[in-house]
């Protein structure tokens, strides 16, 4: 019987075995798997954070590279010599010589800059009309293409109205006819005074230059890097066949900051936006590249779980033998005592809790035997006091009814008081919420004011730099005007010298004619002199023609110099006005900075006052809450007392009835005690 009972599931021993086994195995498995999961998540978080940092650094390097070429395009847009040359080549009535010289300077500038930077594939200046005759490119790159895709790109640059436009890397370049892959930046060189002289500047950057920036960035063992546009087209990839194709690794729609996510095929994706172009840098690698070290921890965890199962089985069996068997014996003795045999006793010879339980059982059975004997005596005494109890119960019933009615009225008043305290507490909490909103608003205004102050400081520094640049431009303009006036004076002097040479040629021609006449009079003797006179006259005619040609060129140069002097003189007041406007803007930035300092001081004072008011509100809320709690406790205590009084009234009524039954129960008790063996 003992063995059968011991191995039943309802037995205490079996329950202890199951509890110990389940607990040990569950804790071991849970802790091991939790450690594996935490280690895996920690590794992935660290890898994600490190990779994000590398991505941001690479993006900064790439932004710096692209910003350099945007700066170059701004310099070209402000180059006055280039602007004048573009006007010259775009004006139909300009002389061939001047136009040729301007074209040569444009090509030299393109070739010089393209050859000085090994990262450039080439540079182009293209007329918006896209005519080959009015377009220029550096040496080593193909000419203008008339493809529709090229026209669409040029239209995008024109619509940008002078802002830089970046185009993704293409396997055959911007024009689609190159041998090397390149990324292109386009910018319109505006000319508001002479719109016909506007040109589109194209800077082609080798695909290798982008690869060099990203060469040091590695993600795992099998990771890859690429750049994608907002529509998830591939802007750059080491595999040129992927360029401009839809990317299987996408960036969340509207992402404005760096981020990390995991794909359904267990790949980690890290992305960060570029600042100079509307593109994203994206890196991705299999998660298995980063969690190889944690797989060892999983193997160790499975070994620990197996060892825990063996240990749990041994501990459970030991608990069944040391606890389950004595409890079965004690249960058998208790069943004998239940049948009325109060003579049963245990024989446990142990000093632990089981032994103490056996001793306690033996003492309990002895005390029960003595109690049964005493109960016989007490039953008779109970019967005698039943009558007295009935009388006292009637008086108690009347008093309890009156107390219950009074306590019910007190409970109603306490309930009303608690409701009022609750409403005041809600009002105080509402005031606190409003004060928190005011405090948050002050904090936001202060943060915005700090940012405005920082921006104002940066603007003031830029204005100082702009003032200096405007003054230097003004000085350069005056120097150019002075040199142009000197050139005009020298041109006039050259013209006077040419007039003198023309007079000399005219006199020489007259002398040659006179010599010819005298030689004719001399006859045969003067024939040699006549030949000399004819040569002198021919030389005088050629000199006259050369002087006339040079005179025309000098007149053209003098007219061009005069127009340049007039243009520079007309531009000088504009430079003065610009310098004055820049200085006024500098004063405005200084005034804004002072006003922002005053505003910050006012916001700080307001924030201090709001904090003091919030402290007072917290104190008030605490007081109301405490009072509400006291009222609620009082109300609850009153209701409890009223309930107890009502119960007492009911109990008193029952006591009257129970007193009558007490005598009957005493007799039954005496009869039931007869069956116990003492």
Give residues with Cβ within 8 angstroms of 419, minimum separation 6. Answer: none
**Number of CB atoms found within 10 A of residue 6's CB:** 18
- The average pLDDT across 201-212 equals 87
Q: What is the pLDDT of residue 520?
A: 77
Tell me which residue has tokens 């108690």: 396
Whole-angstrom distance, CA of residue 588 vs CA of residue 603? 22
DSSP state of 233: B
Kindly tell me the burial class for residue 124, based on how many C-beta atoms sit within 10 Å of its own C-beta (0-12, 13-18, 19 or more): buried
C-alpha torsion sign, points 205, 207, 212, 215: positive
Mean pLDDT computed over every residue of the chain: 76
Q: Give the angle 501-503-505 at the CA atoms, nearest 5°.
A: 70
- Say if CB 196 and CB 127 are below 8 A apart: no
Alpha carbon of 285 to those of 62, 252, 306: distances in Å? Answer: 21, 17, 34
Q: Edge-to-edge strand order for the sheet containing 182-189?
A: 136-137, 120-126, 199-206, 182-189, 165-170
Q: What is the pLDDT of residue 5?
A: 44
Whole-angstrom distance, CA of residue 145 vs CA of residue 132? 9
Whole-angstrom distance, CA of residue 438 vs CA of residue 411? 41
The four Cα atoms 295, 300, 305, 306 give a dihedral, to 10 degrees, of: 110
Q: What is the pLDDT of residue 184?
A: 92
Q: What is the pLDDT of residue 7?
A: 46
- Say if CB 279 and CB 235 are below 8 A apart: yes
| pLDDT, tens digit, 9 for 90 and up, residues 524-571 | 777 776 777 777 777 777 777 777 787 777 777 777 777 777 776 776
Whole-angstrom distance, CA of residue 261 vs CA of residue 678? 81
Whole-angstrom distance, CA of residue 434 vs CA of residue 575? 55
Q: What is the pLDDT of residue 202?
A: 93
- Say if CB 642 and CB 407 are below 8 A apart: yes
Whole-angstrom distance, CA of residue 160 vs CA of residue 147? 21
Instruction: Give the residues across from 273 on adjacent strands.
Output: 280
Which of 150-164, 214-228, 423-437 bottoms out in mean pLDDT, i.e. has the lowest? 423-437
Phi, psi of 266 (to 5 degrees): 60, 55
Instruction: Give the residues across from 202 on adjacent strands.
Output: 124, 186
- The average pLDDT across 38-43 equals 73
Whole-angstrom distance, CA of residue 75 vs CA of residue 82? 10
Catalogue the E-assigned strands of 28-137. Answer: 120-126, 136-137
Q: Give the angle 203-206-208 at the CA atoms, nearest 5°.
A: 155
**Number of CB atoms found within 10 A of residue 533's CB:** 21
Q: Which pTM does this prediction carry?
A: 0.43
Phi, psi of 206 (to 5 degrees): -60, 145
Helix (H, G, I), strand (E, B) or coil at 95: coil
What does the block give as tokens for 557? Answer: 């140069």
Helix (H, G, I), strand (E, B) or coil at 17: helix
- Say if CB 236 and CB 169 are below 8 A apart: yes
Compare 238 and 459 and report the one with higher pLDDT. Answer: 238
**Number of CB atoms found within 10 A of residue 188's CB:** 22
Q: What is the pLDDT of residue 188?
A: 92
Kindly tell me the burial class for residue 129, based on how many C-beta atoms sit within 10 Å of its own C-beta (0-12, 13-18, 19 or more): exposed
| pLDDT, tens digit, 9 for 90 and up, residues 450-480 | 776 676 677 667 667 766 776 777 677 677 7
Q: What is the pLDDT of residue 343?
A: 77
Catalogue the E-assigned strands of 258-339. Answer: 259-262, 267-273, 279-286
**Number of CB atoms found within 10 A of residue 513's CB:** 14
Whole-angstrom distance, CA of residue 620 vs CA of residue 483? 83
Whole-angstrom distance, CA of residue 270 vs CA of residue 282? 6
The bridge status of strand 267-273 relative to strand 279-286 is antiparallel
Q: Edge-to-edge strand order for the sheet containing 267-273?
A: 234-237, 224-229, 279-286, 267-273, 259-262
Which contiguous run of DSSP H or E holds residue 364?
A: helix 353-522
- Say if CB 650 and CB 401 are below 8 A apart: no
Whole-angstrom distance, CA of residue 464 vs CA of residue 471? 11
The four Cα atoms 524, 525, 528, 529 give a dihedral, to 10 degrees, of: -120
pLDDT band for position 3 (50/70/90)? very low
Helix (H, G, I), strand (E, B) or coil at 118: coil
Phi, psi of 82 (to 5 degrees): -65, -40
What does the block give as tokens for 646? Answer: 């009502």
What does the block give as tokens for 32? Answer: 């091991």
* Model confidence at 672: pLDDT above 70: no
Contacts 24+ apart (CB under 8 A), 181-184: 181/206, 181/207, 181/240, 181/243, 182/121, 182/206, 182/207, 183/207, 183/210, 183/235, 183/236
| pLDDT, tens digit, 9 for 90 and up, residues 563-617 | 777 776 776 676 677 667 767 766 766 776 777 677 667 767 766 766 776 676 6
What does the block give as tokens for 317? Answer: 């069996």
* Model confidence at 123: pLDDT above 50: yes
């Amino acid at each position: 019987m003992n063995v059968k009972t011991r191995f039943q599931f309802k037995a205490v021993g079996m329950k202890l075995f199951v509890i110990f086994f389940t607990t040990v195995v569950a804790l071991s498995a849970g802790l091991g798997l939790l450690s594996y999961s935490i280690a895996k998540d920690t590794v992935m978080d660290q890898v994600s954070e490190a990779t994000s940092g590398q991505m941001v650094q690479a993006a900064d390097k790439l932004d710096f590279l692209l910003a350099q070429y945007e700066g170059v395009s701004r310099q070209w847009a402000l180059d006055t010599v280039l602007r004048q040359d573009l006007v010259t080549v775009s004006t139909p009535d300009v002389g061939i010589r001047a136009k040729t010289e301007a074209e040569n300077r444009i090509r030299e500038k393109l070739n010089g800059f393209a050859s000085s930077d090994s990262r450039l594939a080439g540079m182009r200046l293209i007329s918006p009309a896209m005519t080959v005759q009015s377009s220029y490119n550096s040496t080593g790159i193909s000419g203008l293409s008339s493809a529709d895709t090229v026209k669409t790109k040029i239209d995008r640059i024109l619509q940008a109205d002078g802002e830089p436009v970046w185009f993704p890397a293409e396997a055959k370049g911007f024009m689609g006819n190159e041998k090397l892959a390149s990324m292109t930046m386009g910018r319109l060189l505006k000319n508001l005074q002479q719109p016909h002289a506007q040109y589109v500047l194209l800077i082609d950057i080798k695909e290798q230059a982008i690869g060099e920036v990203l060469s040091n960035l590695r993600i795992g063992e099998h990771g890859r890097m690429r750049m994608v546009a907002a529509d998830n087209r591939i802007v750059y990839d080491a595999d040129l066949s992927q360029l401009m194709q839809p990317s299987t690794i996408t960036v969340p729609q509207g992402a404005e900051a760096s981020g990390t996510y995991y794909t359904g095929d267990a790949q980690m994706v890290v992305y960060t936006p570029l600042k100079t172009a509307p593109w994203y840098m994206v890196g991705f690698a299999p998660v298995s590249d980063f969690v190889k070290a944690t797989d060892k921890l999983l193997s160790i965890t499975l070994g620990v779980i197996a060892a825990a199962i063996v240990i749990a089985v041994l501990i459970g069996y030991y608990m069944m033998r040391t606890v389950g068997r004595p409890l079965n014996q004690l249960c058998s003795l208790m069943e004998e005592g239940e049948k009325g045999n109060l003579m049963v006793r245990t024989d446990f010879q142990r000093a632990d809790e089981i032994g103490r339980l056996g001793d306690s059982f033996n003492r309990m059975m002895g005390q029960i035997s003595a109690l049964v004997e005493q109960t016989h005596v007490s039953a008779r005494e109970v019967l005698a006091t039943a009558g007295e109890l009935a009388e006292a119960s009637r008086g108690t019933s009347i008093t309890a009814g009156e107390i219950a009615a009074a306590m019910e009225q007190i409970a109603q008043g306490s309930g009303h008081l608690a409701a009022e305290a609750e409403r005041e507490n809600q009002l105080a909490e509402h005031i606190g919420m409003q004060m928190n909103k005011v405090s948050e608003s002050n904090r936001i205004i202060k943060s915005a004011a700090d940012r405005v102050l920082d921006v104002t400081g940066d603007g003031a520094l830029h204005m100082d730099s702009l003032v200096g640049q405007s003054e230097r431009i003004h000085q350069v303009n005056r120097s150019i005007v002075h040199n142009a006036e000197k050139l005009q004076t020298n041109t006039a002097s050259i013209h006077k010298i040419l007039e003198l040479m023309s007079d000399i040629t005219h006199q020489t021609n007259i002398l040659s004619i006179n010599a010819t006449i005298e030689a004719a009079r001399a006859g045969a003797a003067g024939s040699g002199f006549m030949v000399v006179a004819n040569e002198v006259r021919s030389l005088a005619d050629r000199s006259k023609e050369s002087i006339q040609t040079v005179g025309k060129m000098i007149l053209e140069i003098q007219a061009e110099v005069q127009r340049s002097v007039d243009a520079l003189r007309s531009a000088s007041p504009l430079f003065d006005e610009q310098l004055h406007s820049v200085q006024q803007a500098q004063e405005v930035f200084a005034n804004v900075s002072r006003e922002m300092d005053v505003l910050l001081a006012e916001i700080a004072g307001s924030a201090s006052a709001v904090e003091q008011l919030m402290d007072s509100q917290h104190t008030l809320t605490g007081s109301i809450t405490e009072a509400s709690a006291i009222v609620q406790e009082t109300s609850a205590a009153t209701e409890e007392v009223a309930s107890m009084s009502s119960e007492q009234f009911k109990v008193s009524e029952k006591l009257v009835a129970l007193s009558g039954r007490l005598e009957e129960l005493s007799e039954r008790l005496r009869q039931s005690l007869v069956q116990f063996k003492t």
